Amino acid sequence: MFKKILIANRGEIALRVICAARELGIKTVAVYSQADEHQLHVRFADEVVCIGPPRSAESYLNVPAIISAAEITGCDAIHPGYGFLSESAYLAEVCEACHIRFIGPSPHVIRLMGDKARARRAMKKAGVPILPGSDGPVDSEERGLKVAKELGYPVIIKAANGGGGRGMRIVRTPADLASALRTATREAQAAFGVGDVYIEKYVEGPRHIEFQILGDHHGNVVHLGERECSIQRRHQKLIEEAPSPVFTERQRKKLGGIVVDAAKAVQYTNAGTFEFLMDQQGNTFFIEANTRLQVEHGVTELVTGIDIVKEQIRIAAGEKLSFKQGDIEIRGAAIECRVNAEDPVTFAPSPGVINAYSVPGGPGVRIDTFAHADCTVSPYYDSLVAKIMTHGRDRTEAIARMKRTLDMTVVEGIKTTIPVHKRILEEADFVAGRLSTAFMDRFAVEKPAAGGSSLAAAG
């Protein structure tokens, strides 16, 4: 087992990794930017290294600074969390070259899944149902028009190297295709450094369903069931739950089995999430795989009792999975509300100092956060402040627990999305489990501004 892990991240996820490492008796090294000196992950790590100025490009995305920090402190592994460098095949490769274990999949798998057009092809080959779409990147207007005509409108143009719900364009008529293609290519180039885009059939009002998997280095892969993340705003998740209120045991077994086989086919190791859209007829189609820990991994932990971060560390250290598919049981239901430092009406970021903070405990409540009274929510990073999770014997109990937890939560000094969550939980459709990615349209107060203002953490 490792002796010391460097955590190449900040905020609640850095603390989450510290929790797992401590329970395993492993020392931790926190890295931090000059803006984060007083953050809790710096306080609770065994050792700390300042890696640069506040801007993430110069600190949390600075591979040389992170590798140097790991070498100076004698770390034998790096956990990248989510966001930042968590899906950087380059960091995984540099780690390999420096004999530091990267806690995540191999550089090869990260690269494959990071190119969504290639990932679609690989999944199709492995027998996973994918959404109809272009076979690879679409680089001309003629080709785009041809693909879209074959698929039938509406279609969606997506950046091959995209993420975080950004850079997608829905096209409803042939007349709009050429300009959408040009804009999407330009945006993809600017945001992700690669201008490749591909076209997919656009599904109206789908559900977002994703499977959590774990794979060790001995050929064992299991799935931990599905999560439903249909409550989104501008393609970014707000509320996630496990299991999906509409998935049957049979569907779980069937799609879970397909995902496990596909993961084995690409030699997937460590934790990963295979994302699907479910159309209104109940068909599920693969959209992408994320080669990292997800923000919403906690709801799966609550219903399975498996500590995914500890498993990631054990797997990276070369241990075999200690359980088989048949040992995994889904117990009750869990929900997560992402509390962001944002205006609850406009969703504009609301950084600042939290001057009063109190959260309730009680049965079935888990809160993953870096927040406390007098802490600063920095304008430099994403706006996720806390993940409030509740677990109940069933979905009704989990919802009741979430409502009373939100009612008893006090966060003052900054604006948060708690009022948004309260409204969602009151909706009859939510209570009945009638979810879709279009759910939030009912609350729209304004035409969304171009470009997107929300800085919510990546999925």
Binding region for ligand ADP (CB under 6 A): 131, 156, 162-166, 168, 200-203, 206, 208, 232, 235, 275, 277, 287-288, 437, 459
- Spot the catalytic one: 101, 292, 314, 401: 292
User: What pairing do the DSSP bridges indicate for beta strands 77-79 and 4-7?
Assistant: parallel
Q: Are 247 and 209 in contact (CB under 8 A)?
A: yes
Of the two residues 11 and 206, which places its CB atom closer to ligand ADP in the complex?
A: 206
CB of 170 to ligand ADP, least distance (A): 8
CB of 17 to ligand ADP, least distance (A): 22
Of the two residues 75 and 131, which places its CB atom closer to ligand ADP in the complex?
A: 131
Of the two residues 210 and 311, which places its CB atom closer to ligand ADP in the complex?
A: 210
Of the two residues 291 and 350, which places its CB atom closer to ligand ADP in the complex?
A: 291
- How many other C-beta atoms can be found within 10 angstroms of the C-beta atom of residue 403? 15
Q: What is the 3-state secondary structure (H, E, C) of the chain?
A: CCCEEEECCCHHHHHHHHHHHHHCCCEEEEEEEHHHCCCHHHHHCCEEEEEECCCHHHCCCCHHHHHHHHHHCCCCEEECCCCCCCCCHHHHHHHHHCCCEECCCCHHHHHHHHCHHHHHHHHHHCCCCECCECCCCCCCHHHHHHHHHHHCCCEEEEECCCCCCCCCEEECCHHHHHHHHHHHHHHHHHHHCCCCEEEEECCCCCEEEEEEEEECCCCCEEEEEEEEEEEEECCEEEEEEECCCCCCHHHHHHHHHHHHHHHHHCCCCEEEEEEEEECCCCCEEEEEEECCCCCCHHHHHHHHCCCHHHHHHHHHCCCCCCCCHHHCCCCCEEEEEEEECECCCCCCECCEECCEEECCCCCCEEEEECCCCCCEECCCCCCEEEEEEEEECCHHHHHHHHHHHHHCCEEECCCCCHHHHHHHHHCHHHHCCCCCCCHHHHHCCCCCCCCCCCCCCCC
Q: Are 231 and 238 in contact (CB under 8 A)?
A: yes
Residue with tokens 């008893």: 408
- How many other C-beta atoms can be found within 10 angstroms of the C-beta atom of residue 191? 15
Contacts of 274 (CB under 8 A, 6+ apart): 128, 210, 211, 213, 259, 262, 263, 286, 289
Of the two residues 29 and 156, which places its CB atom closer to ligand ADP in the complex?
A: 156
CB of 450 to ligand ADP, least distance (A): 17
CB of 235 to ligand ADP, least distance (A): 4
Q: Which of 417, 367, 424 is nearest to 399 (CA)?
A: 424
CB of 165 to ligand ADP, least distance (A): 4
CB of 104 to ligand ADP, least distance (A): 17
Of the two residues 287 and 333, which places its CB atom closer to ligand ADP in the complex?
A: 287
CB of 223 to ligand ADP, least distance (A): 18
CB of 259 to ligand ADP, least distance (A): 15
Residue with tokens 């330009």: 186
Of the two residues 216 and 275, which places its CB atom closer to ligand ADP in the complex?
A: 275
CB of 40 to ligand ADP, least distance (A): 28
- Our answer to whether residue 292 is catalytic in this structure is yes
Of the two residues 187 and 311, which places its CB atom closer to ligand ADP in the complex?
A: 187
Of the two residues 28 and 291, which places its CB atom closer to ligand ADP in the complex?
A: 291
Q: Which residues are catalytic?
A: 292
